[in-house]
Structure 1
Amino acid sequence: MELKNQTEKLKQHLNYLKEIYERNEPPKDRKDKQFFQMVKEETLPVYELLEQWETNTLKVVKERKVNVHPHQVTSTRENMELLLMHSYYIDVRRKRYMELNNSIHYILDQLLRGL
């Protein structure tokens, strides 16, 4: 049950990150310490959730309770970490951003169906 809640929370974060990406402009100065601190504070809970999610998901995958590969779980975490930064720094083309976003949603949805 905990994994299902974590997965749903990640989907909510993913949707929120997309809003940030579409709504904001890139920072004027990429080395702005205040901006970096703000991003760090906002993303830290998501990084922690991702870490817990990956651990819990890999346990479920090893028990063969869901039809997801361990590699997909690790890639999803890495992609989500990329999106966290791309959403604030807006340093990737929209097409690439949407590919990552859709890829993460696909695995999260597949996991939810399996649970």
Structure 2
Amino acid sequence: MLTRLKNRFLTEEPPSDKHDRAFFDLVKRETEPMYELLQKWHHSAADFVQQRDVSVHPQQIQSTEENVHLIILHSYYIDIRSERYMDYHQSIGYVIQLLDEDLDRLEGNDGEEE
């Protein structure tokens, strides 16, 4: 999802009219499943962080959820500088990477493939 949004941000033109009803309907239709997935991720990630000894703090989960909200919207409206967008994207990736590493460690994989 994040890669697709980033590609959209980098390749699409900003909408000619951000208040256009048809554009709004398109954004709503395409982003609704993303927001549902984000809500599920937030709930699962918050539970994971609260119940285990991990390197990610609950506030990082909250901030990451907020950053994904911003990424979703800015990917359609294309209304921020590219550098700022990439900062959000990098921050999200960092927290997800930390969660993956914690999950691997807790499962006993330590990042090694079987």
Q: Please, what TM-score do these two structures have when normalized by structure 1?
A: 0.87
Q: How many residues align?
A: 103
2:29 alignment counterpart: 41
Match of 1:114 among 91, 102, 105: 102
* Structure 1: runs of 5+ lacking an equivalent: 1-12
Unaligned runs of 5+ in 2: 104-114
For 2:14, give the aligned amino acid. P
Q: Report which of the two structures shows the higher radius of gyration computed on alpha carbons.
A: 2
Partner letter of residue 40 of structure 2?
Q
The whole-number CA distance in structure 2 between the counterparts of 1:48 and 1:65 is 27
Give the C-alpha shift of residue 65 in structure 1.
4.4
Q: Distance in 2 between matches of 1:41 and 1:65?
A: 38
Secondary structure in structure 1 of the residue aligned to 2:30: helix
User: Over aligned residues, Cα RMSD in angstroms?
Assistant: 0.8
3-state DSSP of counterpart to 1:30: coil
Match of 2:43 among 55, 69, 72: 55
Poorly superposed stretches of 4+, deviation over 6 Å: none
**Which residue of 1 is the match for residue 57 of structure 2?**
69
Identity %: 46
* 1:103–1:27 CA distance, 2 compared to 1 (3 A): same
Distance 1:94 1:29 in 2: 20
Q: Secondary structure at the match of 2:71?
A: helix
Q: Relative contact order: is structure 1 or structure 2 higher (C-alpha 8 Å, sep ≥ 6)?
A: 1
Deviation string 1:13-41 (CA, Å, 9 cap, x unpaired) is: 11100000011000000101111111111
